[in-house]
């Protein structure tokens, strides 16, 4: 059995079979374009690869995506391998191939120095627990801005390419305060935006919108928020604020709320940094997320797992 990067033919077969499961309502053609485009972005080209496990005849036994991240873990900058889209063709199931590809991807990343493996289980977490992964039970929040009359006097405008360095600094400062968080770079922020914009572009017009706003003071961004919206929900994908209380993100959300005063206030689904909630925002409800975050130490690292929910800053925009 060999672990190799998926070639075009293998990728097409995997996309054929996995389309029903992971297409996000994209057509088969758009699903393929969406997947290929992500690996052609500046970050994706070097940090996102799809692998296949092949037998001696070249038959695809299983497949998965490998992401190479940097993360803060207990105050250190460490390499993290993310494993996503684990998929075994139906006729190959039940023979240990998914386990085999996950182990091989992790072993390769560990040999390159990664200290932690990370995945989000869509199936019974017991399957990955048997491979040494430890679950972190996380709660998704529904939040909304408290009722006010009108918008605060701050300058909110659409974020642009020139804002990316300041936005990255803000996102990085947020990440540093927690036991575990991905380390944002300019390219991961661009990737996160591009991925959502690609999805919006490949879906029918109006199905998904992506909004990127900053609060500007003086020369540049002092807070930002990235949101996605469908007719069903609005997700706060990521945000950052120079103000430790989050008051500028709160004001930004109040400005967005004030765009549609005649409509009822919308709830935003999000993960917020532990212990952090802008003063203008209230938490309506919280529920345990279905896709379970799971981590496994590599290379003899002993980070003291499990990570607890309040150890972790992990945005919707970081999910893979």
Tell me which of 41, 88, 194, 228 binds ligand COA, using CB under 6 A. Answer: 88
Q: Is 124 in the site for ligand COA (CB under 6 A)?
A: yes
* CA–CA dist 108, 150 (Å, integer): 54
How far apart, in whole angstroms, are the C-alpha atoms of residue 312 and residue 136?
Answer: 9
Question: Is residue 240 within 8 Å of residue 224, measured between CB atoms?
Answer: yes
Give the nearest distance from C-beta 98 to ligand COA in angstroms: 3
Nearer to ligand COA, 123 or 288 (CB): 123
Residue with tokens 């642009």: 160
Distance in Å, CB of 37 to ligand COA, minimum = 22
Query: In this chain, which of 94, 205, 275, 300 binds ligand COA, going by CB under 6 A?
Result: 94
Q: Segment 8-67, which members bind ligand COA (CB under 6 A)?
A: 21, 62
Segment interacting with ligand COA, rule: CB under 6 A, options 24-32, 117-125, 193-201, 307-315:
117-125
Count of CA atoms in the C-beta half-sphere (13 A) of 13: 16
Which residues lie below 8 Å from residue 70, measured CB to CB, with a gap of 6+? 77, 78, 79, 80, 182, 183, 185
Least distance from ligand COA to the Cβ atom of residue 48, Å: 17
121 CA to centre of own chain: 14
Site for ligand COA in 126-155 (CB under 6 A): 127
From the CB of residue 265, how many other CB atoms can be counted at a distance below 10 Å? Answer: 13
* Whole-number Å distance between alpha carbons of 197 and 201: 6
Residues 254-293 that bind ligand COA (CB under 6 A): none
Per CB under 6 A, the list member of 30, 53, 60, 98 interacting with ligand COA is 98
Nearer CB in complex with ligand COA: 86/167: 86
The yes or no reply on residue 99 touching ligand COA (CB under 6 A) is yes
Query: Which strands sit side by side in the sheet containing 209-217, from one edge to the other?
Result: 155-158, 209-217, 220-229, 234-241, 268-270, 139-145, 281-288
Which is closer to ligand COA, CB of 33 or CB of 99? 99
Residues in region 193-222 near ligand COA by CB under 6 A:
none
- Which of 47, 72, 97, 296 binds ligand COA (CB under 6 A)? It is 97
Q: How far is the CB of 272 from ligand COA (least distance, A)?
A: 25
Cα–chain center distance at 177 = 19
- The answer to whether the beta carbons of residues 100 and 53 sit under 8 Å apart is yes
The contact set with ligand COA (CB under 6 A) reads: 21, 62, 86-88, 93-99, 121-124, 127
């Amino acid at each position: 059995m060999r672990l190799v990067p998926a070639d075009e033919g293998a990728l097409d077969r995997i996309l054929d079979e996995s389309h029903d499961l992971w297409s996000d309502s994209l057509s088969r053609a758009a699903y393929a374009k969406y997947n290929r485009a992500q690996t052609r972005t500046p970050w994706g080209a070097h940090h996102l690869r799809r692998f296949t496990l092949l037998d001696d005849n070249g038959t695809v036994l299983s497949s998965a995506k490998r992401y190479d991240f940097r993360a803060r873990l207990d105050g250190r900058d460490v390499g993290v391998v993310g494993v996503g889209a684990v998929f075994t063709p139906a006729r190959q199931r039940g023979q240990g191939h998914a386990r085999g590809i996950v182990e091989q991807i992790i072993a390769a990343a560990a040999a390159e120095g990664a200290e932690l493996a990370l995945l989000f289980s869509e199936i019974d977490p017991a399957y990955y627990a048997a491979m040494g992964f430890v679950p972190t039970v996380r709660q998704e929040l529904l939040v909304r801005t408290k009722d006010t009359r009108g918008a605060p006097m701050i300058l909110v405008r659409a974020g642009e390419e020139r804002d990316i360095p300041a936005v990255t600094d803000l996102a990085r400062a947020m990440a540093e305060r927690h036991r575990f968080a991905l380390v944002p770079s300019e390219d991961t922020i661009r990737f996160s935006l591009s991925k959502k914009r690609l999805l919006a572009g490949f879906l029918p017009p109006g199905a998904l919108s992506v909004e990127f706003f900053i609060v500007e003071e003086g020369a540049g961004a002092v807070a930002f928020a990235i949101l996605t919206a469908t007719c069903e929900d609005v997700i706060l994908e990521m945000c950052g604020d120079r103000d430790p209380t989050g008051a500028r993100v709160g004001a930004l959300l109040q400005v967005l709320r004030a765009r549609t005063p005649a409509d009822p206030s919308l709830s935003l689904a999000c993960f917020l940094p532990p212990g952090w909630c802008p003063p203008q925002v209230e938490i309506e409800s919280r529920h345990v997320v279905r896709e379970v975050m799971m981590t496994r130490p590599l290379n003899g690292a002993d980070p003291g797992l499990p990570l607890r929910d309040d150890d972790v800053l992990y945005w919707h925009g970081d999910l893979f």
